Amino acid sequence: MFALIRILSLFPLPFLYFIADALVYPLMYYVVRYRRAIVAKNLRMSFPEKSDKQRKELEHLFYHRFASTIMEIIYGYRISDEEMRERFVFENVEIVEELAHRNKGVFFMLGHLGNWEWIADIGKRYIDSSIKEYNVYRQLKSASANQAMLALRSKRGGGGCIEKNQLLRRLVAMRHADNPITIGLISDQKPSPRNAHIWTKFLNQETAFLDGGEVLARKFGYAVTYVHIESPKRGYYRARFEVITDDPASTNPTDITLAYAQLLEQNILQSPELWLWTHNRWKWSRTEA
């Protein structure tokens, strides 16, 4: 798999978009029918006010964007720093740097919106090179897919990747280091039933959220920001950091997670085609959990 990624990454992005439109999208949507039932269900439950035609249009738009994102992630392996700066703009990095020095660390809570992999480039945008950036990942079952994912993220990130089960241990080890740190957490995955501690109304449904980011922020005193993503046109993104708290110890339990859920929902409603609708987010209900 990684060899194929390296080969495809040599082609210009317009050609990769042609592959996305002419091959990946029709193969995924019409032939393999990749998670179409889940996507249709998620859109129907999230947007009951839309007509069947409107939801079908959104479904097609999502799959087109999904195919494009796959090609962009591959292209990201070879993209130059100059081009990446043009394609992915971080609007207020200075806020992050200030928080990183004040709190010794900052958690970025984000969702699977837009090109979530390119967000790792934030590690190359800090004026202060002493700030180290890390991204938390969940190990994939496929060894080859996991290798490819780590290679792509490490290529763009300015720090490194931390497997989620090792995060606490790594944070303890880095606690007294001189370097401030920033850590990216994709927090919109479905928690397991035993870890479904926080529930809220989200996209018209009772939804469980992971609370690991909140627990760790309170434990280590790190600031928490939400990463708001927009895509003005294909292949171009803007990220804006919205401060959830710079004093996690003063917050009540669930405050940080619920604030994240609200900001994520607003972001999705603004550009629903950018979110990863293939995730079986509402597989089980609160009662079943």
Pull the structure tokens for residue 210: 């992971």
Is there a contact between 61 and 43 (Cβ–Cβ < 8 Å)? no
62-85 per-position pLDDT tens digit: 999 999 999 999 999 899 999 999
Distance separating alpha carbons of residues 263 and 269, to the nearest angstrom? 10
Model pLDDT, residue 201: 97
Model pLDDT, residue 2: 73
Could you tell me which of 77, 188, 166, 173 has the C-alpha nearest to residue 132? 173
Model pLDDT, residue 30: 98
106-162 per-position pLDDT tens digit: 999 999 999 998 998 998 999 998 999 999 988 877 777 777 777 777 666 556 889
Regions in the chain scoring below 70 on pLDDT: 1, 154-159
Phi and psi at 108, nearest 5°, equal -95, 115
DSSP code, position 67: H
Q: What value, to the nearest 5°, has the Cα angle with vertex 260 and ends 256 and 265?
A: 150
Model pLDDT, residue 175: 85
Pull the structure tokens for residue 148: 């490819």
Phi and psi at 196, nearest 5°, equal -85, 75
Model pLDDT, residue 25: 98
Q: In whole angstroms, how far apart are CA 279 and each of 112, 118, 153, 194, 224? A: 10, 20, 21, 19, 25
Is there a contact between 281 and 190 (Cβ–Cβ < 8 Å)? yes
Model pLDDT, residue 155: 66
Q: Which helix (H) or strand (E) holds 160?
A: strand 160-163
Alpha-carbon torsion 138, 141, 146, 147, what sign?
A: positive
Could you tell me which of 128, 110, 127 has the C-alpha nearest to residue 224? 110
Q: In whole angstroms, how far apart are CA 3 and each of 9, 78, 109, 144, 160? A: 10, 13, 31, 10, 22
Q: Work out the number of other CB atoms within 10 angstroms of the CB of residue 105.
A: 27
Model pLDDT, residue 46: 98
Helices (H), 13-118: 13-19, 25-26, 36-46, 52-75, 81-87, 93-103
